[in-house]
Amino acid sequence: MAFSPDYRAYPNQSATTSAVLDAGLRAYMLRVYNWMSSGLLLTGIVAYVIAHTGAMDAFYPLVQTVSGRLVRAPTGLAYLAMFAPLAFVLVLSFGVNRLSTTAVQALFWAFCAAMGASLTSIFVVYTGESIVRVFFITAATFAATSLYGYTTKADLSRMGSFMMMGLFGIIIASLVNMFMQSTALQFAISIIGVVVFVGLTAWDTQRIKADYVQFAYAEGTEQAARRGVYDALSLYLNFINLFMSLLQIMGVRNNN
């Protein structure tokens, strides 16, 4: 039987171990948030550059309607950009134990760039001012929720399971609404989406913290580097989905 020391008999050693774990956790969480923030920055830059340069015509060229009005319509490239991020997520998910750290990091950057291309459409639908305003609202909401998930003593695992069920419900409802084109259903999906992704943000933050405490990824190892990117991806997806849900509720649409 393996020997497990009772740290209560060694108070100084227990305090040192706890201090080292806390310092490692703070460093790890900071790295996760840095990866997430860098990914969001890349996504924003790609979306903005495409939307405000001639590249926009390759995704959403101006076409004339029957009434003579000029509108932007999606091309095949735009539809490819919409579904490309899903392919990257699937590759990262199934390759969690197979891909090297370098490959995971490269795929993360490629995913963020592809997501930026897919989000170009928001500049067609919404005004730039409302996009910026909703982004900062999302950032404040995300920060407060993630802080709660990090500091709370309550176990959020049951809530996380419930939110995952809600996420599947949102996906199914969104697929149905692609055919129904119901404004009321879309509004309801957006409201539920805000609740679900706020809950998932808190749950994911607590899960990331608990995983680090349980496995104590050694600083500088490949395991810590790889897991940091995956954890950043989870928070990144929560942020993007929360942003899109809030934008559909609070965004101001273009008149043209």
* Residue 149: count of CB within 10 angstroms of its CB: 23
Q: What is the pLDDT of residue 2?
A: 38
4 assigned to some structural domain: no
Contact 86, 153 (CB under 8 A): no
pLDDT value of position 153: 93
Q: Is residue 11 one of the residues assigned to a domain?
A: no
| Range from 35-39, 153-157, 186-190, 216-220 carrying the lowest mean pLDDT | 216-220
| Per-residue model confidence as pLDDT tens digits over 70-96 | 778 888 888 888 888 888 888 887 776
Residue-averaged pLDDT of the chain: 87
Q: How far apart are CA 52 and CA 95, in angstroms?
A: 35
> Angle between the 128-151 and 183-215 helix axes, to the nearest 10 degrees?
40
pLDDT at 12: 46
Q: Which domain holds residue 206?
A: 16-250
Q: How far is 100 from 83, CA to CA, in rounded Å?
A: 25
Inform me whether the pLDDT recorded for 63 exceeds 80: yes
Burial of residue 109, with CB atoms counted within 10 A of its CB: 0-12 exposed, 13-18 middle, 19 or more buried: middle
| The model's pTM | 0.87
Query: Is 100 contained in some domain?
Result: yes
Task: Look at residue 196 and tell me if it is in a domain.
Answer: yes
Residue 197 CA to chain centroid, in angstroms?
Answer: 9
- Do the domain assignments include residue 9? no
Q: Is residue 10 part of a domain?
A: no
* pLDDT of residue 13 exceeding 80: no
Does 65 reside within a domain?
A: yes
- 7: phi then psi, degrees, rounded to nearest 5: -70, -10
pLDDT in tens, 181-198: 899 999 999 999 999 999
- Determine the pLDDT at residue 14: 54
| Domain count across the chain | 1
